[in-house]
């Protein structure tokens, strides 16, 4: 037995042992289980086996395919094949297996020693029918990855974890079909490397970058919108992000809905509740955070917390969303006029109901448009004279409350459900 393991084992040998009548429940004839059929003379197994369509042969010491006719006979109907934790070193042997499994959709080659192995011309065609390919901890080169993706026109999921990548090599041929990329537990520290993934895989919908050392996101806003145009989910667990500006950059991915961000240096000083509230407030368009759905009520509470939390912050420490030169309310769908240069306007990412708000600044005559959603006609807000000094505040309000508040002092905010806007004056 020891000599057999030293010399290696073939796929056919492993199948014949694992699925022999002595080791596997079976039935004769149609039904669930392994179907026994009589085998031709000289076959390495006593009875021909009709195997399950999902074949798991991990950790079996496989080094080569074995008789290709036997592979075809056993596995022609197999759609998923797990060959992880074996000793496959040669892409030529792997291609022999795949050539004889024409319906294969999923292949797992994780933990096989494929470092330095290359494909002979034409051999990659054997992989052309795959939709999901797992190459975790194989240490395949980017050239090898590109050689495979060029020959797999409908590849949708690619797993490249634990391959010690410090950089990304760009392919001249785009992989337009790829939707999911797992590239966790590598050493991608520089955003300049990560952005190459967006260039090569423009159809990417889910990017799993957990346990990398990414320290920041250096990219102009307009470029981010073009770089990952279809990205809906990103996982940045245990990255090195340490600035809120990097988190806010995620808002510029136009279709992003789900974010996973735990174990990053930025969040270490906060409690669990603070982390959740601040993340929700900084990501107004994200609907799923760290696996949990963000409800409308949670978002409103988070925005209130966000305002209260930053009341006493020094001006140079205010997040970008409270330092905007133009006051905006995305739920209203409009931008109110820019405030005075002495006013630092805030941003309320969402409000519970549509309508219009009231705004005033030094030297401005107050305006108010009351929404008609409650049946009330439009009217001016009473008791709001022109603001004449920096002590006068500007407020956006919920029209359903039919009121507006002003205050003197350095800051203003309200705990009423009618108010979500906070303004700091210089």
pLDDT digits (tens, 9 = 90+) for 258-290: 999 999 999 999 999 999 999 999 999 999 999
Distance of CA 337 to the CA centre of its chain: 36
**What are the tens digits of pLDDT across the range 188-209?**
999 999 999 999 999 999 999 9
Q: What is the pLDDT of residue 23?
A: 61
What pLDDT was estimated at residue 54?
Answer: 94
**Per-residue pLDDT at 362 exceeds 80:** no
pLDDT score of 394 more than 50: no
Q: What is the pLDDT of residue 203?
A: 97
Q: How confident is the model at residue 322 (pLDDT cuts 50, 70, 90)?
A: low
**21-32 confidence digits (pLDDT tens):** 666 554 444 433
pLDDT score of 222: 87
Q: What is the pTM of this model?
A: 0.73
Q: Which residue has the higher pLDDT, 42 or 145?
A: 145
| Domain ranges within the chain, ordered by starting residue | 2-317, 321-426
Q: What is the pLDDT of residue 316?
A: 63
* Least trusted range by pLDDT, from 65-79, 112-126, 183-197, 346-360: 346-360
Give first-to-last CA distance, the chain, whole Å: 81
Query: Measured between alpha carbons, how far is 112 from 216 in angstroms, rounded to an integer?
Result: 33
Question: How many Å apart are CA 175 and CA 188, to the nearest integer?
Answer: 21
Find out whether 411 and 424 touch, Cβ atoms under 8 Å.
Answer: yes
Q: Does pLDDT of 118 surpass 60?
A: yes
Residue 287 has a CB neighbour count (10 Å cut-off) of 14
Q: CA nearest 384: which of 371, 374, 400, 370?
A: 370
Q: What is the mean pLDDT of residues 214-236?
A: 94
CATH number of 2-317: 3.80.10.10
Cβ distance 187 to 212 under 8 Å? Answer: yes
Tell me how far apart the alpha carbons of residues 426 and 161 are, in angstroms, rounded to a whole number. Answer: 49
pLDDT at 351 over 90: no
Q: Which two tokens stand for residue 189?
A: 């520290």
Band the pLDDT of 314: cuts 50, 70, 90.
low
pLDDT of residue 393: 33
Taking residues 139-154, report their average pLDDT: 95
* pLDDT given at position 120: 83
* CB-count burial class (<10 Å; 0-12, 13-18, 19+) for 271: exposed
How large is the average pLDDT for residues 149-169? 97
Q: Under a CB-based contact definition with an 8 Å cutoff, are residues 168 and 143 in contact? A: no
Q: Say if residue 365's pLDDT is above 80.
A: no
What is the pLDDT at residue 282?
A: 94
């Amino acid at each position: 037995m020891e000599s057999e393991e030293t010399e290696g084992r073939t796929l056919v040998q492993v199948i014949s042992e694992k699925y022999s009548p002595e080791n596997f429940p079976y039935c004769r004839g149609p039904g669930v289980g392994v179907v026994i059929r009589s085998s031709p003379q000289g076959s390495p197994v006593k009875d021909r086996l009709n195997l399950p369509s999902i074949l798991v042969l991990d950790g079996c010491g496989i080094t080569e395919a074995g008789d290709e006719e036997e592979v075809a006979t056993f596995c022609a109907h197999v759609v998923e094949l797990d060959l992880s934790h074996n000793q496959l070193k040669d892409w030529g042997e792997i291609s022999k297996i795949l050539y004889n499994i024409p319906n294969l959709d999923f292949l797992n080659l994780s933990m096989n020693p494929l470092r330095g192995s290359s494909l002979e011309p034409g051999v990659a065609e054997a992989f052309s029918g795959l939709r999901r390919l797992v190459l975790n901890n194989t240490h395949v080169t980017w050239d090898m990855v590109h050689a495979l993706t060029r020959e797999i026109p409908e590849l949708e999921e690619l797993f490249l974890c634990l391959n010690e990548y410090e950089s990304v090599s760009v392919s001249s041929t785009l992989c337009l079909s790829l939707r999911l990329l797992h590239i966790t537990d590598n050493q991608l520290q520089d955003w300049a490397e990560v952005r190459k993934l967006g260039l090569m895989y423009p159809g990417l919908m889910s990017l799993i970058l957990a346990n990398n050392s990414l320290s920041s996101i250096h990219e102009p806003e307009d470029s981010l919108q073009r770089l990952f145009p279809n990205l809906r989910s990103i996982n940045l667990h245990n990255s090195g992000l340490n600035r809120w500006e990097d988190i806010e950059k995620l808002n510029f991915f136009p279709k992003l809905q789900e974010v996973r961000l735990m174990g990053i240096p930025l969040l270490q000083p906060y409690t669990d509740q603070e982390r959740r509230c601040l993340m929700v407030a900084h990501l107004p368009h994200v609907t799923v955070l760290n696996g949990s759905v963000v409800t409308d009520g949670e978002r409103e509470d988070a925005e209130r917390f966000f305002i209260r939390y930053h009341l006493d912050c020094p001006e140079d420490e205010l997040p970008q969303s409270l330092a905007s030169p133009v006051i905006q309310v995305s739920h209203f769908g409009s931008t109110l006029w820019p405030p005075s240069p002495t006013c630092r306007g805030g941003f309320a990412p969402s409000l519970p109901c549509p309508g219009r708000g009231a705004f005033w600044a030094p030297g401005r005559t107050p305006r108010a448009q009351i929404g008609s959603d409650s049946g009330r006609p439009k009217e001016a807000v009473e008791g709001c004279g022109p603001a004449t000094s920096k002590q006068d505040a500007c407020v956006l309000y919920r029209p359903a409350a039919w009121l507006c508040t002003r205050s003197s002092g350095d800051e203003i905010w309200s705990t009423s459900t009618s108010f979500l806007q906070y303004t700091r004056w210089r």
